[in-house]
Amino acid sequence: MGARDSVGVVAHATRDPTMAAFDASLPSVPRSGRGVSARSRSDAALVRDACRGSAAAWEALFARHWPQAYRAAYLVVHDAAAAEDAAQEAFVAAAAALERFDRRRPFAPWLHRIAVNRAIDHARRAARRHEAGGGVAGEVGGWDPAGPDDGLLGELRALSPEHRAVVVLRYLLDWTPGEIAAALHLPRGTVNSRLRRALDVLGRGLEESG
Amino acid sequence: MSERELRERLAAIELPGEQGARGRAAAAAAAAHAQRPPWRPAPARRRLVPAGAVALALSLSAVALATTRPGHAVTHWIDDVFSAPAVTQPRDRLPARGSVLAIGARGPFVLGAGGGRHALGRYSDAVWSPHGLYVAAVRGRQLAAVDPHGAVHWVLTAAGPVADPRWSPDGFRIAYRAGARLRVVAGDGSGDRVAGRAVAAVAPAWRPGRAHALAFLTARGGLLLGRPDRGTAYLMADGLAAVRWIGWAGPHRLLAASPGTLTAIAAGVLSDAERRRERTWHAPSGATIASAAVSPTARHVALLVQRAGVTRVVLLGSALAGRPRVLLAVHGALAGLAWSPDGRWLVAQQPRRSRWLLVPTSPGLRVRALPGLDGRVGGWCCVR
């Protein structure tokens, strides 16, 4: 007797063409028995093994790149929960797209680009809440006025999310203006002008605050 | 400030919440990685055995298998593997840690990881507290807090029939419906107060976090986000009269299920009506969403989708992007749906067979059945 009789499970994919559009069989994940030394292996090798199903390789990539992804997201969005969401979404999106990743390219910029773009989205949404909701909506907004009281962090907060993103990509992640322009879909001149303005504002603010 | 100094200071800022976030994100990232499609190596360039010989051998094997009684069973097994998820023999133990709360004809009961059961009394509905230390149970106009062994800690009596109790994430508040009103009481039974009037017959949903923010639906289809402690509330969205379930997928996204659709709503966006509803997933024509549950990591939502006498357990990303996966399809109805605390299993009741089905969300595991269980699943909690 087959499992269908004893359990009542049906062969849905073949009997129901409409539902079959989103039916999919449960995939199996191959297990790699090899241990992974995060320090000794390149990102490309870890990505290759993670593509093949190695949980250890994926964990090593996470451990290597989480701190910078979270830092970049936080410095853009200035809210711990939103930064967590943005960085986490970057890893989840990266896991889903590993096969499409070109392993000849570096992994970190790909991941950071996702995290920073998600952080910009979060920051824009939070700004809309803050402006539109008045007193009541402000209570549930994502801004974190009680965050760490760092002079530079305070001055960064005065910039728009888009300006903060440019600063973070340039001076935290060491991207070139050309790479920033490509990632944020901006003209290169706009990137340079935002960098100049951001540096002016940060420098002036820090001088005034002593 | 020089560029070099700016680089050093950006790298040195101490950030709040990083360690906790890291732990949560590690679990979510690992789950996302585990749910990728299987890796398939590139096909070999040189065949060691001619394809025709392989096909002939397989044909002969199939004939030999099908003409013997054991062979008959094997072909059934092969057919099942390719047509539907296999189900292991019934077991009496949960496959993950924690305890399941269920509501049976004689009231709620708790099934422990080892298979032991504890009846909680004659209540019509019940839910876990966030850490599994208590259960909020209702009957008639009464709301009670009982422990997992059935000992009653407090009872309050409302003006109208009580339904849909929901414990806040920190355990300090319980929201519940009393007639057409939404009320909130402290976890120790004190401070009972009205939090909303003319509410719909839909369970409210506490927003993740410590802020005691609560989403609920009005009878006219308005979705409100309230702060009962402060007596404030504001409109998140409207036109949701058909919604039958709401649940948070993280602090910034609320999911709302109506019979035919599942909609993701950005929390708190007031000014732009188009952006309130981030995305909507439409069930196939004629299909109905019977139940929904958000995963412990908030990265996924599981649905029971019914159509033409068949119920499917469907897994979606909580952003409602990407392709849904059908984890299981069964004849007849399934009732209730809950995630295991580790996010690796879903449990639902199959009333026609008087049992629960345990459906793995990760690859490599088989569906399991727990026989002799008539209760509708109310929740699976917690690893203490």
Quote the minimal CA–CA distance from A158 to chain B in Å: 15
What pLDDT does B33 receive? 81
Q: Nearest by CB to B310, which of A7, A12, A139? A: A12
Residue B321 pLDDT > 60: yes
Q: Do A74 and B227 touch (CB under 8 A)?
A: no
Chain B residues inside the 8 Å CB shell of A140: 207, 211, 213, 225, 227, 267-268
Q: Are B166 and B175 in contact (CB under 8 A)?
A: yes
Q: Which of A166-180, B28-42, B104-118 bottoms out in mean pLDDT, i.e. has the lowest? A: B28-42
A134 at interface of B, judged by CB pairs closer than 8 A: no
What pLDDT does A67 receive? 92
In whole angstroms, what is the distance from residue B12 CA to residue B99 CA?
Answer: 44
Q: How many residues does chain A have?
A: 210
Instruction: Please tell me which residue of chain A has the smallest CA distance to B233.
Output: A136
Q: Do B284 and A128 touch (CB under 8 A)?
A: no
The full DSSP string for chain A is --HHHHH-B--HHHH-HHHHTT--PPP--PPP-S---TTTS-HHHHHHHHHTT-HHHHHHHHHHHHHHHHHHHHHHH--HHHHHHHHHHHHHHHHHTGGGS-TTS-HHHHHHHHHHHHHHHHHHHHHHHHHHHHHHHHHTSS--TTS---HHHHHHHTS-HHHHHHHIIIIIS---HHHHHHHHT--HHHHHHHHHHHHHHHHHHHHHT-
B137 backbone φψ class: left, alpha, beta (φ>0; ψ -120 to 50): beta
What pLDDT does A130 receive? 44
Instruction: Please tell me which residue of chain A has the smallest CA distance to B10.
Output: A172
In whole angstroms, what is the distance from residue A69 CA to residue B21 CA?
Answer: 12
Quote the minimal CA–CA distance from A29 to chain B in Å: 5
- Distance between first and last Cα of chain A: 81
**Quick one: CA dihedral A107, A110, A112, A114, positive or negative?**
negative
What pLDDT does B277 receive? 55
Q: The tokens 């109905």 sit on which residue?
A: B288
What pLDDT does A15 receive? 34
What pLDDT does A128 receive? 57
| Residues with Cβ within 8 Å of residue A9, at least 6 apart in sequence | A3, B80, B84, B85, B87, B328, B329, B330, B367
**For residue B74, what pLDDT band results from cuts at 50, 70 and 90?**
very low
- Give CA separation, A28 vs A25, B78, B118, in Å: 9, 17, 36
In whole angstroms, what is the distance from residue A124 CA to residue B57 CA?
Answer: 63
Cα-flanking dihedrals φ and ψ of residue B177, to 5°? -95, 135
Q: Nearest by CB to B33, which of A50, A122, A174? A: A50
What pLDDT does A29 receive? 28
What pLDDT does B73 receive? 30
Q: How many residues does chain B have?
A: 384
Quote the minimal CA–CA distance from A22 to chain B in Å: 6
Chain B residues inside the 8 Å CB shell of A133: 234, 268, 270
What pLDDT does B95 receive? 86
What pLDDT does A185 receive? 87
Angle subtended at Cα B85 by Cα B79 and Cα B90, rounded to the nearest 5 degrees: 110
Class of residue B350 by CB neighbours under 10 A (exposed 0-12, middle 13-18, buried 19+): buried
Q: What is the complex's ipTM, to 2 decimals?
A: 0.71
Q: Are B279 and A152 in contact (CB under 8 A)?
A: no
- Report, in angstroms and rounded to the nearest whole number, the Rg of chain A calculated over CA atoms: 22
The full DSSP string for B2-49 is -HHHHHHHHHH---TTHHHHHHHHHHHHHHHHHTSPPP-PPPPSS-SS
Q: The tokens 């062969």 sit on which residue?
A: A11
Q: Which of A12-16, B90-94, B248-252, B292-296 bottoms out in mean pLDDT, i.e. has the lowest? A: A12-16
Average pLDDT over residues B202-220: 92
Residue B270 pLDDT > 70: no
Query: Tens-digit pLDDT profile for chain A (210 aa)?
Result: 333 323 344 433 333 333 444 333 322 223 333 334 455 688 889 999 998 888 899 999 999 999 999 999 999 988 887 888 888 888 888 888 888 888 788 899 989 998 998 888 888 776 655 433 322 222 222 223 333 445 788 888 888 888 899 999 999 999 999 989 988 888 999 999 999 988 888 887 767 655
- Between residues 185 and 224 of chain B, which touch chain A (CB distance below 8 Å)? 207, 209, 211, 213
In whole angstroms, what is the distance from residue B350 CA to residue B347 CA?
Answer: 10
Identify the H or E element spanning B190.
none
Chain B residues inside the 8 Å CB shell of A14: 83
Average pLDDT over residues B21-43: 72
| Residues with Cβ within 8 Å of residue A173, at least 6 apart in sequence | A68, A72, A108, A109, A112
Residue B362: half-sphere exposure toward Cβ, Cα within 13 Å? 21
What pairs with residue B251 in β-bridges? none
- Pick from A77, A84, A90, A68: which is nearest to B209 by CA? A84
For strands B205-206 and B193-196, give the pairing. unpaired
pLDDT tens digits, B168-197: 998 899 999 999 999 999 998 888 999 998
Q: Do B25 and A87 touch (CB under 8 A)?
A: yes
B69 at interface of A, judged by CB pairs closer than 8 A: no
Q: Is B313 helix (H, G, I), strand (E, B) or coil?
A: strand
| Residues with Cβ within 8 Å of residue B52, at least 6 apart in sequence | none
| Residues with Cβ within 8 Å of residue A121, at least 6 apart in sequence | A86
Q: Is B94 helix (H, G, I), strand (E, B) or coil?
A: coil
Query: Taking all residues of chain B, what is their mean pLDDT, rounded to a whole number?
Result: 81
- Between residues 303 and 322 of chain B, which touch chain A (CB distance below 8 Å)? 307-308, 310, 312, 314, 322
The full DSSP string for B216-285 is EEBTTS-EEEEETTTTEEEEEE---TT--EEEESSTTEEEEE-SSEEEEEETT--S-HHHHEEEEEEPPT
- Pick from B97, B208, B218, B40: which is nearest to A81 by CA? B208
Residue type present at position B15 = L
In whole angstroms, what is the distance from residue B279 CA to residue B262 CA?
Answer: 8
Q: Please report, rounded to a whole number, the percentage of residues in chain B having pLDDT higher than 90.
A: 45
Q: Which of A31-35, A205-209, B149-153, B311-315 bottoms out in mean pLDDT, i.e. has the lowest? A: A31-35
Class of residue B213 by CB neighbours under 10 A (exposed 0-12, middle 13-18, buried 19+): buried
Q: Return the axis-axis angle of helices A55-77 and B18-34, rounded to nearest 10°.
A: 130
Q: How many CB pairs (< 8 A) connect A and B?
A: 249
